[in-house]
C-alpha cells in the first residue's frame, strides 16, 4: 500500500450502536461521530459499513424482540435504515461532515458492472469529502439478510476501495485464546500473521442478542481482507481517541497483518463474487505450481472434474484431500476437460477444439488460504 493511501473502512456492528433491548443508542452514535470527525480533520478518507437497521427499527413497528421471520426483519430494516441514517446525519452534521447512504446486496458484487458503478459513486463522494455509509439492502435480500453480520460486506468493500486498513469495531477488545467472559486466564492475541486452523478453532459463536454474528464471521472477514492485501483491526472503542489509536496501530484489539498484494477488481470478482459453476481436482504438483510457482493450470495436473461448466465460467480448484485452494476462469467445457485430464498439452490440442492449452491461465486465477 502506498504511504499516500488515506482510505480506511470502519465497520460498526449492531451491538456497538444499539441498546441491549433494541433501538438506537444516540450517545453511542454521537461518540462514534466524534471519533470519525477526529479522523476526518486529519485528512483520512473514511467509508463506514454500519449494521443496526433491523435492531433500530423493530421496536418502532411494535415487535417486542428482534424478529426471526424474514418479512419481519425486512420490515424492521425498512424502518430502521431511515432512523440509522438520520442519526448519523444529525451527529456528523455538528462537525460539518456530510454523509451518503449506499445499500448493497451480494448480487451487486456478483455483477461486475454494478459494483464498478458503486465504486465510482464512492470515489466521487470521497472526492467531495462526503462519508459513504454502507449497509446491506436488507429489504430486498432474499438470502437470510446477511453477508455475515456485515463483517463480510466490510471486507469486500475494503478490497473494492483498496483501503489501507479495515477497522471492525465490536464489543470485545480483540481475539482471545478462549472466551474471556468465562475464562479469566484467556489471553488476547495482539497480532495475527496467519489465519490458521488454531485461529479458526478459538473463534466463538454469537456474543450478542442484538447482532447476528460472532468472532468467527469477523475472522472470516479478516481472511477475505488480508487475502486482498488489506490489514485488519478487530477490537473495541469506547473512549475518546480509541479509533484513532486503532488506525495508528495502538488500538485495543487484534491486528491481522498481510504481505499479499491488493487485488484488481477482476480478481476480486473471481475470488469473492462470481458464481462457481464446478470444481477441478488437481494433483500435488499442479497445486504447488498454482500456489507457489505462479504457474497456470494444465490438463496434465487435472485428476477429476465436477459440475457442468463452459469456457469463461468460474470454477474452484481443489486438492486430492478436498481442500479448496482457489478459483479461476476456465478455458474448457467440463466435458472437454474430462476427456483430456492427465494428458500433456500437445495431446490436448490434438484431441479437443480449445483456443489455448491452459485450463486456467495464471492471470485468471486467485489463490485462497488453505483453510
51 is in an annotated binding site: yes
The answer to whether 131 and 125 are in contact (CB under 8 A) is: yes
346 is in an annotated binding site: no
216 is in an annotated binding site: yes
Task: List beta partners, residue 329.
Answer: 314
Long-range Cβ contacts of 348-357 (<8 Å, 24+ apart)? 348/299, 354/311, 355/311, 355/331, 356/331, 357/298, 357/299
257 is in an annotated binding site: no
Say how many C-beta atoms besides its own lie within 10 A of residue 39's C-beta. 20
Say how many C-beta atoms besides its own lie within 10 A of residue 293's C-beta. 9
**Cα separation, 285 vs 291, whole angstroms:** 10
170 is in an annotated binding site: yes
Tell me the C-alpha to C-alpha distance, in Å, between residue 331 and each of 223, 283, 288, 356, 358: 28, 19, 20, 7, 7
Q: Classify the phi-psi angles of 22: left when phi > 0, otherwise alpha if psi is within -120 to 50, otherwise beta.
A: left
204 is in an annotated binding site: no
Among residues 109, 230, 196, 307, which one has the least CA distance to residue 318? Answer: 307
11 is in an annotated binding site: yes
288 is in an annotated binding site: no
Angle at 231 between CA 200 and CA 37, to 5 degrees: 120
213 is in an annotated binding site: yes
152 is in an annotated binding site: no
139 is in an annotated binding site: no
Binding residues for substrate: 51, 138, 150
Annotated binding-site members: 11, 51, 138, 150, 170-171, 212-218
Binding site, annotated residues for ATP: 11, 170-171, 212-218
Amino acid at each position: 500500500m502506498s504511504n499516500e493511501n488515506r482510505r480506511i473502512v470502519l465497520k460498526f456492528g449492531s451491538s456497538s450502536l444499539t441498546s441491549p433491548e433494541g433501538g438506537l443508542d444516540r450517545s453511542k452514535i454521537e461518540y462514534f461521530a466524534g471519533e470519525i470527525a477526529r479522523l476526518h480533520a486529519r485528512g483520512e478518507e473514511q467509508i463506514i459499513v454500519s449494521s443496526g437497521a433491523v435492531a433500530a427499527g423493530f421496536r418502532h413497528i411494535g415487535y417486542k424482540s428482534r424478529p426471526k421471520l424474514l418479512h419481519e426483519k425486512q420490515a424492521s430494516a425498512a424502518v430502521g435504515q431511515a432512523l440509522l441514517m438520520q442519526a448519523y446525519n444529525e451527529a456528523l452534521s455538528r462537525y460539518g461532515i456530510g454523509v451518503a447512504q449506499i445499500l448493497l446486496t451480494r448480487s451487486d458484487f456478483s455483477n461486475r458492472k454494478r459494483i464498478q458503478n458503486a465504486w465510482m459513486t464512492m470515489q466521487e463522494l470521497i472526492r467531495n469529502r462526503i462519508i459513504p455509509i454502507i449497509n446491506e439492502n436488507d429489504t430486498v435480500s432474499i438470502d437470510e439478510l446477511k453477508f455475515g453480520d456485515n463483517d463480510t460486506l466490510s471486507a469486500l468493500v475494503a478490497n473494492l476501495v483498496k483501503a489501507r486498513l479495515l477497522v471492525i469495531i465490536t464489543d470485545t477488545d480483540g481475539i482471545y485464546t478462549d472466551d474471556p467472559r468465562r475464562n479469566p486466564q484467556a489471553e488476547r492475541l495482539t497480532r495475527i500473521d496467519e489465519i490458521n486452523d488454531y485461529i479458526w478453532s478459538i473463534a466463538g459463536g454469537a456474543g450478542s442478542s442484538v447482532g447476528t454474528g460472532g468472532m468467527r464471521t469477523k475472522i472470516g472477514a479478516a481472511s477475505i481482507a488480508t487475502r486482498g492485501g488489506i490489514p485488519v483491526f478487530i477490537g473495541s472503542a469506547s473512549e475518546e481517541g480509541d479509533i484513532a489509536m486503532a488506525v495508528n496501530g495502538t488500538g485495543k484489539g487484534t491486528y491481522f497483518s498481510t504481505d499479499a498484494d491488493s487485488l484488481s477488481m477482476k480478481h476480486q470478482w473471481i475470488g469473492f463474487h462470481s458464481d462457481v459453476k464446478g470444481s477441478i481436482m488437481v494433483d500435488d504438483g499442479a497445486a504447488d505450481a498454482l500456489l507457489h510457482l505462479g504457474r497456470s493450470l494444465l490438463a496434465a495436473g487435472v485428476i477429476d472434474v465436477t459440475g457442468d461448466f463452459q469456457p469463461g465460467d468460474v470454477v474452484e480448484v481443489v486438492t486430492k484431500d478436498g481442500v479448496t485452494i482457489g478459483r479461476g476462469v476456465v478455458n474448457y467445457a467440463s466435458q472437454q476437460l474430462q476427456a483430456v485430464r492427465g494428458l500433456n498439452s500437445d495431446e490436448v490440442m490434438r484431441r479437443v477444439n480449445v483456443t489455448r492449452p491452459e485450463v486456467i491461465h495464471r492471470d485468471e486465477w486467485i489463490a485462497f488460504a488453505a483453510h
